[in-house]
């Protein structure tokens, strides 16, 4: 019974959201606010049960790990942003968070996005096979053109201008491909909703 | 007369386009046209990477998505679990998105109907959701049991047979990531694959796929399933039709409809531009 109620509720809310395609209306607003509210509540409950209780509260109160008072204090300081007088205290917590994430990210980006990607672009321009060689030349020319385009220390004239023009074409083609993928993604989501309405709700399809 | 038609087409109400797109999808789902599609190399590589793993070895599956990306990623998740269990691989699943846990349980219960002999804790385990994004990934590099001390059923990992001998990424043969956004494949590549050189296969939304092709080209990813098309190709390889394969007809027809509208719009735009130029002259 609860499953049936859930399906009817899902179908009703889906149609409320779709009603926005005609024009903004109270049904859409209701569904949107309901979604935002439930999401916020779900996340708050998940963070409480998955983060606060097992990582801070239980070790602090049941296992006596007093050192956890330090991150506890930093967490409380974040809420000082809501006061004008003490909002500067939250900068300490933000500095810690940003510092840790920057440190973790730099190592990852350095090896994963920089070194390994540069290595992957050091390709032989002639491999003995026409197709592979053409692919490698295309890749190297595209990468070089894209990098030249983003070099703004000199005016894009002459050879630099030609390189930047080639880079522009490669960038435009890649944006077009990305847009095509984005259209496919949005269509997939619509297909998922239509499938839910026609199969799960109305049982029109098997 | 033609000019009036072109002007109307140029300023066509978008709601008409919405109706056409909706009808193209609904009608194609009702009356499939069975458009053939082929399996692309990134998907074949993903499939082959799992097929090449020795039976009995442990695979970590990180399901980082929510109901918003279910149409694209849920079929991939189901298909990946199916292939892993069919190959008698041990599946250790985690989630870095809070909304992923119930979806993973649902996907696994669907797949287990084909494998009734597979036991929880022996053949597969769900270690659940952990907040922290990249910090969780880095922490797992030091110790997976310390990062996930219990599973979703509150059993300690040291009491689970599947987790015996699993300490770090060195003890798993492959990492499969079903990624709906951040944190997802990019973070797994940067934080884990680049450091620990774990074999990493990714299933992602079509929006993210272009971003991950450089990782596929460089060998940082062993395979890539991009969007519903990737999921459909993967289902075709596994000979297990699912919702993705079923949705591909609607996908193709809706794309043709969008293409036709773009074409009509461009014809109308350039024709009117030419007509206005002639009038000025």
Q: Is residue B23 part of a domain?
A: yes
The per-residue pLDDT of chain A, averaged, comes to 92
Residue A40: its pLDDT value, please? 93
For every residue of B110-145, DSSP letters joined together read HHHTT-TT--BTTTEEEEEE-S-THHHHHHHHH-HH
Q: Is residue B24 part of a domain?
A: yes
B193 and B253 belong to one structural domain: no
Number of domains in chain B: 2
B206 and B150 belong to one structural domain: yes
ipTM of the complex: 0.87
Residue A111: its pLDDT value, please? 87
Using CA coordinates, name the residue in chain B closest to A109: B190
Residue A124, classed as helix, strand or coil, is coil
pLDDT band at A206 (very low <50, low <70, confident <90, very high): low
A18, pLDDT greater than 90 = yes
A50, pLDDT greater than 90 = no
A79, pLDDT greater than 80 = yes
Q: Is residue B271 part of a domain?
A: yes
Structure tokens at A193: 């909703």
| Whole-number Cα distances in Å, B29 to A77, B26, B113 | 54, 5, 26
Residue B211, classed as helix, strand or coil, is helix
Residue B281: its pLDDT value, please? 66
B70 and B120 belong to one structural domain: yes
- DSSP annotation of A156: S
Q: A187 to chain B, minimum CA–CA distance in Å?
A: 7
Residue holding tokens 């084909």? Answer: B114
Structure tokens at A20: 């926005």
Taking one residue from A and the other from B, the number of pairs with CB-CB distance under 8 angstroms is 131
* Percent residues over pLDDT 90 in chain A: 81
- DSSP annotation of A26: H
Residues A170-189: tens digit of each pLDDT: 999 999 999 999 999 999 99
Residues of A within 8 A of B255 (CB-CB) are 183-184, 187
Residue B273: its pLDDT value, please? 85
B171 and B271 belong to one structural domain: no
Residues A143-168: tens digit of each pLDDT: 999 999 999 998 988 999 999 999 99
B253 and B236 belong to one structural domain: no
B13 and B75 belong to one structural domain: no
**Distance between alpha carbon B227 and the CA centroid of its chain, in Å?**
5
Residue B210: its pLDDT value, please? 94
Give the residue ranges of chain B where pLDDT is below 50: none
Q: Is residue B273 part of a domain?
A: yes
Per the structure, the complete domain to which residue B254 belongs is given by 2-31+247-280
Residues A89-106: tens digit of each pLDDT: 999 999 999 999 899 889
Choose the closest CB to A108 out of B190, B218, B250: B190
B189 and B225 belong to one structural domain: yes
B188 and B63 belong to one structural domain: yes
List the single best residue of A45, A55, A191 to mutate versus B (max B Cβ within 10 A). Answer: A191
Q: A80 to chain B, minimum CA–CA distance in Å?
A: 22
B155 and B224 belong to one structural domain: yes
Q: Which of A98, A156, A97 is nearest to A147 (CA)?
A: A156
Q: Which of B40, B62, B44 is nearest to B198 (CA)?
A: B62
Query: Does the distance separating the beta carbons of B228 and A184 come in below 8 Å?
Result: yes
Residue B279: its pLDDT value, please? 75
B151 and B232 belong to one structural domain: yes
Using CA coordinates, name the residue in chain B closest to A123: B218
Query: Does the distance separating the beta carbons of A113 and B207 come in below 8 Å?
Result: no
| Cβ atoms B43, B224 nearer than 8 A | yes
B188 and B228 belong to one structural domain: yes
Q: Is residue B36 part of a domain?
A: no
Question: Considering only CB atoms, which residues of chain A are within 8 Å of chain B?
Answer: 21-22, 42-43, 46-47, 50-51, 100-101, 104-105, 107-109, 111-113, 116-117, 119-120, 139, 174, 177-178, 181-185, 187-195, 198, 204-205
| Cβ atoms B192, B198 nearer than 8 A | yes
B215 and B182 belong to one structural domain: yes
| CATH number for the domain harbouring residue B194 | 3.40.50.10160
pTM as predicted: 0.89
């Amino acid at each position: 019974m609860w499953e049936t109620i859930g399906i009817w509720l899902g179908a009703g809310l889906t149609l409320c959201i779709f009603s926005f395609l005609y024009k903004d209306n109270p049904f859409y607003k209701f569904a949107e606010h309901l979604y935002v509210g439930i999401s916020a509540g779900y996340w708050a409950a998940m963070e409480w049960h998955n983060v606060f209780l097992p990582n801070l509260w239980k070790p602090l109160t049941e296992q006596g790990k007093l050192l956890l008072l330090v991150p506890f204090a930093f967490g409380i300081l974040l809420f000082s942003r809501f006061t004008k007088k003490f909002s500067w205290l939250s900068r300490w917590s933000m500095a810690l968070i940003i510092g840790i994430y920057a440190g973790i990210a730099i190592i990852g980006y350095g090896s994963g996005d920089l070194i390994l990607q540069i290595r992957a672009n050091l390709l032989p321009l002639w491999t003995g096979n026409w197709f592979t060689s053409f692919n490698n030349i295309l890749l190297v020319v595209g990468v070089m053109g894209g990098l030249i385009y983003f070099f703004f220390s000199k005016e894009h004239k002459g050879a630099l201008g030609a390189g930047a023009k080639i880079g522009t074409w490669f960038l435009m083609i890649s944006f077009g491909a990305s847009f095509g993928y984005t259209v496919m993604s949005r269509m997939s989501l619509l297909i998922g909703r239509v499938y839910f309405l026609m199969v799960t709700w109305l049982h029109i399809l098997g | 007369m033609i000019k009036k038609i072109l002007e109307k087409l140029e300023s066509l109400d978008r709601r008409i386009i919405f109706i056409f797109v909706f009808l193209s999808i609904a009608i194609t789902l009702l009356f499939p046209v069975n458009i053939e599609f082929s399996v692309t190399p990134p998907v074949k590589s993903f499939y082959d990477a799992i097929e090449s793993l020795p039976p009995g070895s442990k695979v970590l599956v990180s399901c980082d998505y929510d109901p918003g990306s279910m149409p694209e990623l849920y079929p991939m998740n189901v298909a990946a679990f199916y292939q892993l269990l069919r190959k008698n691989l041990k599946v250790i699943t985690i989630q870095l998105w809070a909304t992923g846990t119930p979806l993973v349980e649902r996907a696994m219960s669907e797949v287990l109907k084909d494998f009734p002999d597979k036991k929880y804790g022996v053949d597969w385990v769900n270690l659940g959701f952990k907040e922290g994004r990249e910090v969780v990934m880095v922490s797992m590099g030091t110790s997976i049991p310390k990062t996930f001390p219990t599973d979703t059923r509150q059993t300690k990992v040291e009491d689970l047979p599947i987790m015996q001998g699993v300490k770090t990424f060195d003890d798993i043969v492959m990492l499969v990531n079903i990624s709906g956004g951040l944190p997802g494949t990019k973070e797994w590549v940067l934080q884990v694959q680049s450091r620990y050189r774990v074999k990493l296969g990714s299933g992602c939304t079509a929006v993210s796929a272009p971003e991950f092709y450089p990782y596929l080209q460089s060998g940082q990813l062993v395979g890539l399933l991009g969007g519903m098309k990737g999921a459909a190709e993967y289902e075709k390889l596994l000979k297990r039709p699912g919702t993705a394969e079923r949705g591909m007809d609607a996908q193709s027809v809706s794309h043709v409809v969008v293409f036709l509208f773009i074409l009509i719009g461009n014809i109308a735009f350039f024709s009117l531009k030419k007509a206005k130029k002639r009038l000025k002259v």
